[in-house]
């Protein structure tokens, strides 16, 4: 069942492009790329000849919040996301999500921080209180470190970029954040920091975090920030789409995608209406342009960029927002499509040490995305989805959502 050949296809292998090639998948693993397949196999394996199509590694969404509902990761999967990174949840939800991922191949694999590291009254408790969510506010970093977390998420939010008055959110001291980083590193876990303002970003980068879950949007980029990124070899996950929603500056792009049939056919009806709706939660000085220019400068400085949607129930649509993010990185921040495709596959896998995914290469999981057209020239061709495989198992659609 999970053995087949895809031939006559353009391949983005996670690093580069190989025209008119083939791949062999056996028992859920990629076993050959580009070499001639033995005639004995050609006869009895299913073979898909796909001229005019591009085959890619399944996408990795490096920032999401799939709470207790399977519908959200399912929606992400329909957009070609075969690995979904959860950046804050309850422990029980994270365990449940991982269980679904183990049991089902029409569901993305889940990586999770389980609980984010925060303090009483700290982010995101402020949001959850406003939304009326009865959330566990957990200070138990030890719990996350020893109960299956794949990395640590460190919350550092003053409210400065969001227009939340100073003092409403309780913020940990720098020494606490540095101690969290040391504890995570002692457990060989990477630390991803949340910060949305310049001052918060400076503080967590000084604490030695490995990467940022956002770029800030309340001030212009500074040489000091770039210097701190370089010093820790930290990466940035810009989340321009989420910044576009929070500031309102992304309204045009969100509208464009909300009207795209290729998006609409993959999301629940209530989510379609949600896509163009901006969150409008910003301080007076905040602007999407600061984030965009910041990404341009980080890219020029050689800071690794990875791609994540910050999708969360009721706010930012799973799956769709990763495609919006990729489009904005190309059209607004000036990244080349190949750089953005690497940022959604191999760069992320490399930074987290996941050697089983992120590329189409012999020995790796057959997590694959097949699209019609060429996303290396037009990134929105990624929405022309014609095939999704996880561990070599072909996706046939979810109830109410046929694949095409």
Q: Name the residues that contact Zn ion, by CB under 5 A.
A: 310
Residue placing its CB nearer to Zn ion in the complex, 310 or 325: 310
The residues, any chain, with a CB within 8 Å of residue 34's CB and separated by 6 or more, are 11, 18, 21, 22, 23
Phi, psi angles (nearest 5°) of residue 64:
-155, 170
Q: How far is the CB of 86 from Zn ion (least distance, A)?
A: 10
Residue placing its CB nearer to Zn ion in the complex, 310 or 367: 310
Q: How far is the CB of 189 from Zn ion (least distance, A)?
A: 18
Residue placing its CB nearer to Zn ion in the complex, 74 or 310: 310
Residue placing its CB nearer to Zn ion in the complex, 200 or 310: 310
Q: How far is the CB of 231 from Zn ion (least distance, A)?
A: 25
Residue placing its CB nearer to Zn ion in the complex, 195 or 329: 195
Give me the long-range contacts of 163-166 (CB less than 8 A, separation at least 24): 163/281, 163/282, 163/283, 163/284, 163/286, 164/126
Q: How far is the CB of 391 from Zn ion (least distance, A)?
A: 27
Identify the CA nearest to 93 among candidates 81, 82, 101.
Answer: 101
Identify the CA nearest to 9 among candidates 48, 44, 45, 51.
Answer: 51
**Kindly report the CA angle at 217 between 65 and 243, in degrees rounded to 5?**
40
Residue 235 belongs to what H/E stretch? strand 235-236
Q: How far is the CB of 116 from Zn ion (least distance, A)?
A: 9
The residue of the chain with the least Cβ separation from Zn ion equals 310
Residue placing its CB nearer to Zn ion in the complex, 96 or 245: 245
Q: How far is the CB of 84 from Zn ion (least distance, A)?
A: 13
Q: Write b or e for each residue in 201-220: b if 16 or more Cβ atoms lie within 10 A of its Cβ, otherwise e.
A: bbbbbebbbbbbbbbbbbbe
The residues, any chain, with a CB within 8 Å of residue 262's CB and separated by 6 or more, are 383, 384, 385
Residue placing its CB nearer to Zn ion in the complex, 101 or 113: 113
Residue 292 has which token pair?
Answer: 């965009």
Q: How far is the CB of 138 from Zn ion (least distance, A)?
A: 16
């Amino acid at each position: 069942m999970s053995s087949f050949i895809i031939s006559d296809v353009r391949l983005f292998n996670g690093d580069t492009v190989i025209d008119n090639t083939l791949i062999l998948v056996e028992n859920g693993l990629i076993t050959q790329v580009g070499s001639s397949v033995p005639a004995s196999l050609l006869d009895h394996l299913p073979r898909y000849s796909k001229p005019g199509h591009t085959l890619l590694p399944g996408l990795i969404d490096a920032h999401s919040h799939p709470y207790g509902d399977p519908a959200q990761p399912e929606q992400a999967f329909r957009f070609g996301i075969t690995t979904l990174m959860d950046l804050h949840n309850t422990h029980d939800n994270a365990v449940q999500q991982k269980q679904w991922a183990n049991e089902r191949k029409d569901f993305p694999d889940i990586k999770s921080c389980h609980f984010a590291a925060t303090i009483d009254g700290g982010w995101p408790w402020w949001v959850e209180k406003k939304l009326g969510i009865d959330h566990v506010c957990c200070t138990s970093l030890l719990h996350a470190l020893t109960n299956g977390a794949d990395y640590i998420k460190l919350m550092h939010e003053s409210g400065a970029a969001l227009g939340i008055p100073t003092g409403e959110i309780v913020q940990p001291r720098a020494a606490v954040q540095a101690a969290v980083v040391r504890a995570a590193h002692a457990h060989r876990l990477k630390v991803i920091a949340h910060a949305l303002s310049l001052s918060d970003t400076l503080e967590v980068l000084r604490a030695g975090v490995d990467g940022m879950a956002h770029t800030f949007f309340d001030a212009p980029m500074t040489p000091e920030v770039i210097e701190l990124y370089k010093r820790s070899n930290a990466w940035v996950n810009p989340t321009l789409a989420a910044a576009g929603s929070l500031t309102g500056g992304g309204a045009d792009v969100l509208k464009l995608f909300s009207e795209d049939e290729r998006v609409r056919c993959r999301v629940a009806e209530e989510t379609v209406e949600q896509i163009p709706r901006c969150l409008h939660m910003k301080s007076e000085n905040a602007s999407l342009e600061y984030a965009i220019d910041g990404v341009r400068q980080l890219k020029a400085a050689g800071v690794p960029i990875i791609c994540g949607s910050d999708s969360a129930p009721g706010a930012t649509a799973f799956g769709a927002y990763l495609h919006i993010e990729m489009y904005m990185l190309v059209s607004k921040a000036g990244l080349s499509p190949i750089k953005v495709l690497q940022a959604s596959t191999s760069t992320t896998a490399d930074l987290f040490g996941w050697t089983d995914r992120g590329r189409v290469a012999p020995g790796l999981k057959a997590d694959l995305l097949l699209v019609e057209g060429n996303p290396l020239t037009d990134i929105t061709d990624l929405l022309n989805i014609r095939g999704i495989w996880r561990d070599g198992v072909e996706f046939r659609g979810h109830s109410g959502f046929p694949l095409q």
